[in-house]
Amino acid sequence: MTRKKILLTFDYELFFGTPSGTAQKCLLRPTQRICDILNRYGQKAIFFIDTLYLEKLREVGDFETFEKIERQLQEIVSDGHRIELHLHPHWLDAQWRDDTWIFPTYRYYRLHALPKEKIVQLFLSGKTLLEEIVSEVNPAYSVVAFRAGGWSVEPFLTLKEAFIESGIQIDSSVGYGMKLEGVAHQFDFTDAPDKAFYRFEDSVVEESAKGSFWEVPITTYRTNILQKIVRRIRRKLQPERYRMFGDGKSVGGLRRNYLEEIRTYEMLTLESTLPRQLLRRIDQVPFEIVTLISHPKGMSEVAMETLEALCRSPHKCVGYEVLL
């Protein structure tokens, strides 16, 4: 087994359906368990933080939740992990009613639905918020990477100015081979370079040797319907062990489309692979660097075992310093 460098990424966010779930069960508790395991083995992770949710918490006056998250992000960074920028702009329309989040519309699901100046402002305020939060534990900390909500990063030209203005150098929204034209999601990565990372300039799916930015795609693998059926049966047989920690629901309509469209490629996650399977799939990746995507809200007991197996393996989970 070759020892690989693993970029173990987690999208730190609530659900976007009804209910959206609670910070306690979708974020704070599962992230604590994830970090306990990582820290025990000296492994590092990268958390993409949905900053528009944090800004919304402040806007509606839920300072108690905001401060708990603030403390968790500070711990994450002081333990040597990274936090980076993740934007889900449909939070702009969210309302807090009867102790729950309501999303009356998803018109801003993609950043591209907003004017360019607004996009720049969201990048700047998100990056500043994260850096301010962790300045207490690391005053020099700088956010360098971005992942688009729903992977909706193209056309990149719409976001380019925001990358430049905020000094973001890395995007990690692409998944080679994946394509989706749903109601809200929209991306086509079928012609993206099949590489662990590459430079780009005006499009994340076109390599440009002297490009200003890095694309670090989420590692994908080919799957088939049989594998999906086996996985579903396994989950049915052990519902407790596979139950997600998060207490919310995905957006129904969007999800169905999404599953239909991406049947041939899947992103490599902790949540959808058993411990042995994950190590086998990492072995099969023809690159030295492998990028995983997971979500604290989506973790289960089985996914925690998969995380532990990865931490105990010879592979080294690292941050973006391997590139920069």
Min separation Cβ 230 and Zn ion, Å: 27
3-state secondary structure 285-303: CCCCEEEEEECHHHCCHHH
**Phi, psi angle pair for 224, to nearest 5°:** -145, 170
Provide the minimum distance between the beta carbon of 12 and Zn ion in the complex, in angstroms, as a whole number.
9
**Could you tell me the smallest distance in angstroms from the CB atom of residue 87 to Zn ion?**
9
Whose Cβ is closer to Zn ion: residue 149's or residue 217's?
Answer: 149
Q: Rounded to the nearest whole angstrom, what is the least distance from the CB of residue 295 to Zn ion in the complex?
A: 8
Torsion on CA atoms 131, 137, 139, 141, rounded to nearest 10: -50
Q: Taking each helix axis as running N to C, give the angle between helix 63-78 and helix 116-134, from 0 to 180 degrees, rounded to the nearest 10.
A: 70
Give whichever of 52 and 77 is closer to Zn ion, judged by the CB atom. 52
| Minimum CB distance to Zn ion, residue 240 (Å) | 26
CB 227 within 8 A of CB 321: no
Show the CA angle centred on residue 275, arms to residues 274 and 276, nearest 5°. 95
Q: Which is nearer to Zn ion, 12 or 313 (CB)?
A: 12
Nearer to Zn ion (CB atom), residue 91 or residue 156? 91
Residues near 134 by beta carbon (within 8 Å), at least 6 away in sequence = 73, 74, 77, 83, 141
Of the candidates 117, 116, 133, 7, the residue with the CA atom closest to the CA atom of residue 77: 133
- The residue at minimum Cβ distance from Zn ion is 11
Rule CB under 5 A: which residues touch Zn ion?
11, 13, 149
Dig out the tokens for 52 from the structure. 């528009």
> Considering beta carbons, is residue 49 or 311 the nearer one to Zn ion?
49
